[in-house]
Amino acid sequence: MKRVMRGAVLASVAAAAVTGCVTDKGACETMSKGCEPSVVVKPFGKTKDGQLVQQYTLTGAGGVVMDVIDYGGKVVRLFTPDRTGAKTDITLGFNEVAGYETHDPYFGSLIGRYGNRIAKGTFTLDGVTYRLPINNEPGGLPCSLHGGKRGFDAYVWHSEPLSEGRSVGVKFWMTSPDGDQGYPGKLDVTVCYWLTPENVWRIEYEAVTDKATPINLTQHLYFNFKGEAEGTILDHELTLFADRMTPVDKGLIPTGEVVPVKGTPFDFTTPWPIGARIQADNEQLRFGGGYDHNWVLNNQSGKLAPAAALYEKSTGRFMEVWTTEPAIQFYCGNFLTDQVPSKKPGKKLCYRGGLALETQHSPDSPNQPAFPSTILRPGAVYKSATEYRFGVK
Ligand code: GAL
């Protein structure tokens, strides 16, 4: 999608802000009839070191509304209609910046430079060994997770509103300096979020580097189609367009094998309730504490294709995930507890209270020569796109 020049965008945003479609709560009052698309910008808060954090409320012409902040490109709230047209916030997040600074479930965040785990926090590239910060130790085995101690989720990004036709969005960009979190190369990253009239949230990632470096950008939104803090996601029905997955060791690092899912609790090639087989006597489920694994998508073409579908029958909410990426991490909130606060006063989150479908390359690819490469070289452009398509059934 083409980007609009900043001046033009701001004009359209100013016009949109006076349509009256968006209230202070970021809600669209004419949901069932659709909305005038708009982007409204307002302060969200400040980081602990005093940086101002801006919130963008994107109201899509199809009625989906999302609040997004420039701190980590986080989606704070996401309102989608159920089958009666009633809207609910279906994502986990925090009302204040401090929540994001205190807790680490990566709610709604952009993840980089490397989404997922790198074994022992080290890799060798072109004969040079690099060391990354260790910030995770499942099963007592140290690794570097989601970009290290300070990943892209913990930066205030540059940002500006976008609009084209009846789609609205926000563009984020930042430069990660050479050596950031141990990674080589100065990396310039741009991520655009678009909300289309068809209720598609499209994410476009782009990056360039001045030295060869691994890169694996993703988005870590948690979904609960019954609503934030409305119980577990075990009743959601999941489909994964993947005949194979990458088994892990107890540190959640791939063993290097790629195995068929047929006949196992990892077979989501037809829709299955997430909770149906999660207690099965299965070593992989024990290592993950449930589902926390990487599936190799059937589509390896690099072109946009279906990766996953999710359905919740009491609300009728349905979503398809499409991506250009070769793999997807399905994480069903095994590390969540009621110690992580809800956005709603008086409500609590819970164990398995949300799930993430993170499109990406497989974990530890820099140490796995048989996996598709995650190395970006100078002169090449990293490009990736993912769409979350919202609807009802
Ligand atoms: C997921 C990962 C989980 C957990 C989670 C954050 O992407 O697969 O193991 O680390 O992020 O809590």
**pLDDT tens figures, 307-332:** 999 999 999 999 999 999 999 999 99
Kindly name the residue from 220, 236, 293, 361 that is annotated as catalytic: 220
What is the rounded radius of gyration, in angstroms, for the C-alpha atoms of the chain? 20
Q: What is residue 34's predicted lDDT score, i.e. its pLDDT?
A: 64
For residue 336, which atom of ligand 1 is closest to its CA? 12
Asked if the structure places residue 55 within a domain, the reply is no
Mutate to test the pocket of ligand 1, among 118, 285, 335 (most ligand atoms within 8 A of CB): 335
Kindly name the residue from 325, 358, 361, 387 that is annotated as catalytic: 358
Q: What is residue 289's predicted lDDT score, i.e. its pLDDT?
A: 98
Distance 164 CA to ligand 1 centre (A): 34
CB of 35 closer than 8 Å to CB of 59:
yes
Distance 362 CA to ligand 1 centre (A): 13
Q: What is residue 142's predicted lDDT score, i.e. its pLDDT?
A: 98
Q: What is residue 38's predicted lDDT score, i.e. its pLDDT?
A: 97
Host domain of residue 323: 123-135+214-378
Distance 317 CA to ligand 1 centre (A): 24
Report d(CA 231, CA 222) in Å as an integer: 13
Asked if the structure places residue 340 within a domain, the reply is yes
Contact partners, residue 35, CB within 8 Å, separation at least 6: 21, 28, 59, 60, 61, 62, 63, 65
Q: What is residue 239's predicted lDDT score, i.e. its pLDDT?
A: 99
Distance 257 CA to ligand 1 centre (A): 21
For residue 136, which atom of ligand 1 is closest to its CA? 10
- At position 183, the amino acid (one-letter code) is Y
Q: Which of 86, 7, 11 shows the shortest CA–CA distance to 316?
A: 86
For residue 106, which atom of ligand 1 is closest to its CA? 6
**pLDDT tens figures, 257-306:** 999 999 999 999 999 999 999 999 999 999 999 999 999 999 999 999 99
Asked if the structure places residue 284 within a domain, the reply is yes
Report d(CA 336, CA 300) in Å as an integer: 32
Local structure of residue 374 (DSSP, 8 states): -
Distance 36 CA to ligand 1 centre (A): 36
Q: What is residue 5's predicted lDDT score, i.e. its pLDDT?
A: 32
Q: What is residue 108's predicted lDDT score, i.e. its pLDDT?
A: 98
Asked if the structure places residue 220 within a domain, the reply is yes
Mutate to test the pocket of ligand 1, among 135, 295, 328, 331 (most ligand atoms within 8 A of CB): 331
Asked if the structure places residue 5 within a domain, the reply is no
Task: Write the residue with the smallest CA distance to atom 5 of ligand 1.
Answer: 105
Q: Copy the structure tokens of residue 345.
A: 């006063």
Interior/surface letters 16-32, b for 16+ CB within 10 angstroms, e for the rest: bbeeebbeeebbbeebe
Local structure of residue 114 (DSSP, 8 states): B
CB of 353 closer than 8 Å to CB of 232:
yes
Q: What is residue 201's predicted lDDT score, i.e. its pLDDT?
A: 98
Q: Which of 353, 330, 332, 329 shows the shortest CA–CA distance to 341?
A: 353
CATH of the domain at 255: 2.70.98.10
Task: Write the residue with the smallest CA distance to atom 11 of ligand 1.
Answer: 105
Work out how many domains the chain is built from and give that number: 1
Distance 296 CA to ligand 1 centre (A): 17
Asked if the structure places residue 35 within a domain, the reply is no
Asked if the structure places residue 140 within a domain, the reply is no
Whether 236 is catalytic is no
Report d(CA 296, CA 241) in Å as an integer: 9
For residue 331, which atom of ligand 1 is closest to its CA? 8
Whether 358 is catalytic is yes
Asked if the structure places residue 310 within a domain, the reply is yes
Task: Write the residue with the smallest CA distance to atom 7 of ligand 1.
Answer: 116
Q: What is residue 74's predicted lDDT score, i.e. its pLDDT?
A: 98
Task: Write the residue with the smallest CA distance to atom 12 of ligand 1.
Answer: 105
Residue 149 has, within 13 A of its CA and on its CB side, a CA count of 7
pTM for the model stands at 0.93
Give the mean pLDDT per block of 10 residues along the chain (393 residues).
Answer: 37 34 40 76 98 98 97 98 97 98 96 98 98 98 98 98 98 98 98 98 98 98 98 98 98 98 98 98 98 98 98 98 98 97 96 98 98 98 98 97
Cis check: omega of the bond before 352, within 30 degrees of 0:
no
Q: Which of 106, 256, 124 shows the shortest CA–CA distance to 182?
A: 124
Separation of CA 199 from chain center: 17
CB of 134 closer than 8 Å to CB of 144:
yes
Residues with CB under 6 A from ligand 1: 105-106, 145, 252, 292, 329, 331, 335, 356, 358
Task: Write the residue with the smallest CA distance to atom 6 of ligand 1.
Answer: 105
Angle at 154 between CA 384 and CA 221, to 5 degrees: 50
Longest CA span, the chain? 59
**pLDDT tens figures, 142-156:** 999 999 999 999 999
